[in-house]
Amino acid sequence: MGRGWADELTDLTLPVACSAEIHHLHWSAGRLRAAAHPDLDGEVGLAALGGELPACVDAVAVWRRAVADGAFLAEWCDHDLDDPVYRHHLRIAVDRLRNEGFADLLRGVPPRRAEAAGRFLLRFPQTWVDRAALGVVRGNRQAGGADPLAGAIRRAVQVRARSSFVRSLARWNRVVRPAALVRFECVVTPWDTPPHAAGVLDGVASWCRVGMSPRWLVEVWGPGRAVDERGDLVLGHDGMTLRWEATADGRLAACVRPAGAGAVGPDPGRASAGSALP
């Protein structure tokens, strides 16, 4: 039996104050469970009849609804969810949605969905939301890439690709400085499209363009393999990396190198090494 998409992701445990005790939620291989509540569906049914919903069960319900809906991706793609200032404003926005129906969060999303997404973001820390988001991205691929989530997924790839690219330039600090100012473009491609890259490192004229798919989020960024041991940006699930090779005029041109193989040369579709990023 083949490995699942989440098998390379580390397990997570989250303590929850529940029924005057400390219980734990566990995430492993793409599944969330509450160890102290083996019959989650049964407890939800009892709560519907007027019983009290334990905190663990409520948390799982919030998680399931968020993953099924996916609206939270619009916040996840751009924000540091553990930032205290962000969480303060998020809490205010959720309270206003609940009490006033005022949509200052996920505008364009129906208020009840926006409130549910906000509750989820407040309930779980960044690492947990990352796991949920990766599950949504993978499910979106299996569903054929539903349009309502496509923009947020594309933005998530671009933001995380840029951050990883800047990290990968640490070993080239004598050529490019500061790395964060290098012109960078990430073109988000269909799921199974091979990655490609073009660019040049040449002082202030440096630029880079890469093509990466949402599969990179799930199978490379998620497991923490976006930058390899050499410090190169990993472009694809098969280990294809962005390398910088010296050109005849002394500059460094982008090329794509397969895992464990020599450089295959600059991307054949790119402009010449001296061309500027359009």
Residue 37's φ and ψ, nearest 5 degrees, are -135, 75
Same domain, 81 and 201: no
Inform me whether the pLDDT recorded for 188 exceeds 70: yes
Q: pLDDT per residue over 221-232, tens digit each?
A: 999 999 998 899
Q: Is residue 264, in this structure, part of any structural domain at all?
A: no
- Over range 114-136, report the average pLDDT: 95
Are residues 29 and 131 both part of a single domain? yes
| Residue bearing tokens 């160890």 | 35
End-of-domain residue from the set 144, 163, 181: 144
Same domain, 26 and 140: yes
The answer to the question of residue 250 being in a domain is yes
Residue ranges with strand state E in the chain: 12-18, 21-28, 31-34, 183-188, 196-201, 207-212, 233-234, 241-246, 252-257
Q: What is the pLDDT of residue 160?
A: 97
Q: Which residue has the tokens 């924000």?
A: 79
Q: Has residue 88 been placed in a domain?
A: yes
Q: Does residue 135 form part of some domain?
A: yes
- Into how many domains does the chain fold? 2
Looking at the structure, do residues 174 and 139 belong to the same domain, yes or no?
no
Per-residue pLDDT, averaged over 164-181, amounts to 86
Same domain, 121 and 37: yes
Confidence (pLDDT) at 238: 87
One domain, residues 19 and 132? yes
- 2 has pLDDT over 90: no
Q: What are residue 81's phi and psi, to 5 degrees?
A: -75, -15
Does residue 168 fall inside a structural domain? yes
Which element (helix H / strand E) includes 92? helix 84-100
Q: What gap in Å lies between CA 133 and CA 153, rounded to an integer?
A: 9
Residue that is last in its domain, among 144, 167, 184: 144
Note whether residue 112 is domain-resident: yes
29 and 136 fall within a common domain: yes
Together in a domain, 63 and 85: yes
pLDDT digits (tens, 9 = 90+) for 139-158: 888 665 557 899 999 999 99
Q: Which of 25-34, 104-113, 206-215 has the lowest mean pLDDT?
A: 104-113
Question: Is the pLDDT score of 277 beyond 90?
Answer: no
Alpha-carbon distance of 35 to 53, in angstroms, equals: 16
Please give the Cα distance from 218 to 136 (Å, whole number): 10
pLDDT over threshold 60, residue 164: yes
Parent domain of 120: 12-144
Is 46 in the same domain as 59? yes
Structural domain includes residue 269: no
**Within-domain flag for 267:** no
What pLDDT is stored for residue 143 in this prediction?
60
Residue 273 has pLDDT above 50, yes or no: no
Q: What is the mean pLDDT of residues 253-257?
A: 93
Does residue 91 share a domain with residue 75? yes
Residue 4: predicted pLDDT: 74
Q: How far from 68 is each of 39, 61, 65, CA to CA, in Å?
A: 20, 11, 5
Listed residues 144, 159, 181: the one ending a domain: 144
Where does the pLDDT of residue 44 fall: very low under 50, low under 70, confident under 90, or very high at 90 and above?
Answer: confident
pLDDT at residue 261 greater than cutoff 60:
no
What is this structure's pTM? Answer: 0.86
Instruction: Please tell me the distance from the alpha carbon of residue 181 to that of residue 272, in angstroms, as a whole number.
Output: 21
The whole-number average pLDDT for the span 158-183 is: 89
Say whether both 139 and 154 belong to one domain.
no
pLDDT at residue 70 is higher than 60: yes
Residues 139 and 168 sit within 8 Å (Cβ to Cβ): no
Q: Mean of the pLDDT values across residues 169-174?
A: 84
Could you tell me if 123 and 180 lie in one domain?
no
Average pLDDT over residues 264-269: 40
